[in-house]
Amino acid sequence: MNQPELICHTARWVKDVIMKYNICPFARPEVEKDTIRYSVIKGSKLTKIVDALISEYQYLDNHDGTETTLVILPNGFNDFNRYLDAVALAEDLIFELGYEGKYQIASFHPEYLFDGEDYDSPTNYTNRSPYPTLHIIREASVERALEHYSEPESIPKRNMAFAEKKGKSFFKVLLENCKN
């Protein structure tokens, strides 16, 4: 699959799932302001991921108008456990490069599995995406958004209840539609 298609599918997921169903109540303003960057890393080696993530952190350092980056990993990270290695690497890089308190990572994967949940649990779909994706978030943005949001700790519980109510089939169709 080519880079524009990967980006289109991921952007559709952000708009038609994450934003539309308020999975992340902070997504709408960024979608509307077009401040989300989409980056595709074609390589499957962790060393390639390191170089690309360093570039993305530096890009965000130099582009204040870009609020967040979704890094799409279409090759070699379909296995969820291998993907978790990439997540750990991205988080380790934040510390190694001195970005602690500046950036954080959120993770999304087509086979996302919350610890302790059954694979088929609808709650996993709150973090399932069309492709393995690392979300680099500016911590200052999170802090600003939380100033205007009462009870942010309720977001995951609300999302899980919504997922349980809608069911696995509902979310499965949503994800499939993102690729059409």
* 44-55 tens-digit pLDDT: 998 889 999 999
* 98-129 tens-digit pLDDT: 999 999 999 999 999 999 999 999 999 999 99
- How many domains is the chain partitioned into structurally? 1
pLDDT bin (cut points 50, 70, 90) of residue 1 is confident
* 51-71 tens-digit pLDDT: 999 999 999 999 999 999 999
Contact between 67 and 138 under an 8 Å Cβ cutoff? The reply is: yes
Query: Could you list the residue range(s) of the whole structural domain that residue 90 is in?
Result: 3-178
User: pTM here?
Assistant: 0.95
Mean pLDDT, range 132-143, rounded to an integer: 94
